[in-house]
Amino acid sequence: MKILVINCGSSSLKYQLFDMENEEVLVKGLVERIGIEGSRLVQKKNGDEFIIEEPMENHTQAVGHVFDALVDSENGVLSSLDEIDAVGHRFVHGGEKMTKSALIDDEVKEAINEAAKFAPLHNPANLMGLKACEELLPNVPNVAVFDTAFHQTMPAKTFLYGIDYKYYEQEAIRKYGFHGTSHNYITKRAADLLGKDLSQTNIISAHLGNGSSITAVKEGKSFDTTMGLTPLEGLVMGTRSGDLDPTVVTYIEEKENLSPSQMNDLLNKKSGVLGVSGVSSDFRDLEEAANNGNQRAQYALDMFTTRAKRYIAGYMAEIERCDAIVFTGGIGENSIELREEMMKGFEQFGIKIDKEANEVRGGEHIISTEDSKVKVMVVATNEELMIARDTQNLVK
């Protein structure tokens, strides 16, 4: 079975084509600047790049070029589009209705539209990719995989906010959590690596990248997570503020005479480690700047690790027994220094990092000592594979 996985942003589209026989990625690609001058598709196969530079005014045109690239006689991997058995789409917000991945029908589309009020940039963009596939591959089933779905097992005590209950009842304002596809993948991999039944696996999954979230997993299910109604809550991220006293928001709005959407922009795109450091949202740049004595870059890094510690420790208490702390995402997989820093202070609970074992990037590794009370791991995440697997299971 061949499955195409599509992840659509407002002006970009990432794709991977899987052969599910052996879960091999046949080809992957990225389209950028959709609807903007300079549209460009870059497809990668065995290290070779195939580039299409043509105007792409909308997602339908972009998907059309993805299909051209897939069947290109020299650079493609398919002889015909008929070989695609199904398409898996990443959706950011599924609201309370979408508790797992689903074959797309009218009811699912309605749920996606309903949840779009909380993801006004993402859900409509994700839907554009779907619409393009429906138009261009009318006989191929489409599956939706939601970033929020894995977290729908959270109990009310962790998903409710401390505000008038009517806002939950009337507006569905609550914590939803994101990166669910990644946390789900990490939980399953961790259970395998621990040799435990999924239903008995308790872990802390730390997905640390440009966007970061930490999830407490109890008995294989999401129990609590740092992101909230939107991906803005929780850790200090590349450009997102993470947790704040809400008064900070109303104060700055009034003081600078900002509209809610300008404030939203400030909190999502100009805050986080970028805002604090004034240097970059990229952690490699921050580490370099801090090593060269930039105080604000050092503050940003320290804020990031301190808040991560706070959540990891708190979540360990919430789930009562923790089998493993797992690091993933660009930072979690690659930053040896930040992993070491985040685990400092956990020695008092019998958790010990093996410095040599920690000298790894990516892959799957145990980085704690033999006698550490809780295993600490690095596991490279694979959201696309998870989407492909869910799609296969639903169309089989």
Residue numbers annotated as active site: 147
Q: How many residues bind ligand AMP (CB under 6 A)?
A: 12
Q: Any contact of residue 330 with ligand AMP (CB under 6 A)?
A: yes
Q: Of 13-21, 100-108, 246-254, 283-291, which part binds ligand AMP (CB under 6 A)?
A: 283-291
Do you know the residue count of the chain?
396
C-alpha–C-alpha distance, residues 66 and 87, integer Å = 13
Site for ligand AMP in 333-362 (CB under 6 A): 334-335
> Hey, what are 226's tokens?
């740092």
Give the nearest residue (CB) to ligand AMP: 330
Q: Which of 90, 85, 102, 100 is nearest to 18 (CA)?
A: 85
Q: Any contact of residue 226 with ligand AMP (CB under 6 A)?
A: no
Q: State the nearest-atom distance from the C-beta of 210 to ligand AMP, in Å.
A: 3
Q: Any contact of residue 185 with ligand AMP (CB under 6 A)?
A: no
Q: Considering only residues 102, 290, 326, 331, which one is a binding residue for ligand AMP as defined by CB under 6 A?
A: 331
Q: Any contact of residue 284 with ligand AMP (CB under 6 A)?
A: yes
Q: Which of 352, 336, 330, 318 is nearest to 206 (CA)?
A: 330
Q: Any contact of residue 209 with ligand AMP (CB under 6 A)?
A: yes
The smaller minimum CB distance to ligand AMP, of residues 283 and 311, is found at 283
C-alpha–C-alpha distance, residues 328 and 318, integer Å = 21
Q: Of 146-154, 196-204, 255-263, 280-288, which part binds ligand AMP (CB under 6 A)?
A: 280-288
The smaller minimum CB distance to ligand AMP, of residues 56 and 289, is found at 289
Q: Any contact of residue 282 with ligand AMP (CB under 6 A)?
A: yes
Q: State the nearest-atom distance from the C-beta of 145 to ligand AMP, in Å.
A: 18
φ/ψ (deg, to 5) at 103: -65, 135
Q: Which of 378, 365, 294, 375 is nearest to 330 (CA)?
A: 378
How far, CA to CA in Å, does 391 sit from each of 5, 9, 266, 386, 394? 9, 20, 36, 9, 5
Cα 311 from chain centroid?
18
In what side-by-side order are the strands of the sheet with 364-366?
A: 221-225, 212-218, 203-208, 324-328, 375-379, 364-366
User: Which one-letter amino acid corresponds to residue 205?
Assistant: S
The smaller minimum CB distance to ligand AMP, of residues 18 and 283, is found at 283
The smaller minimum CB distance to ligand AMP, of residues 95 and 242, is found at 242
Residues at the site binding ligand AMP, with contacts judged by CB under 6 A: 209-210, 238, 282-284, 287, 329-331, 334-335
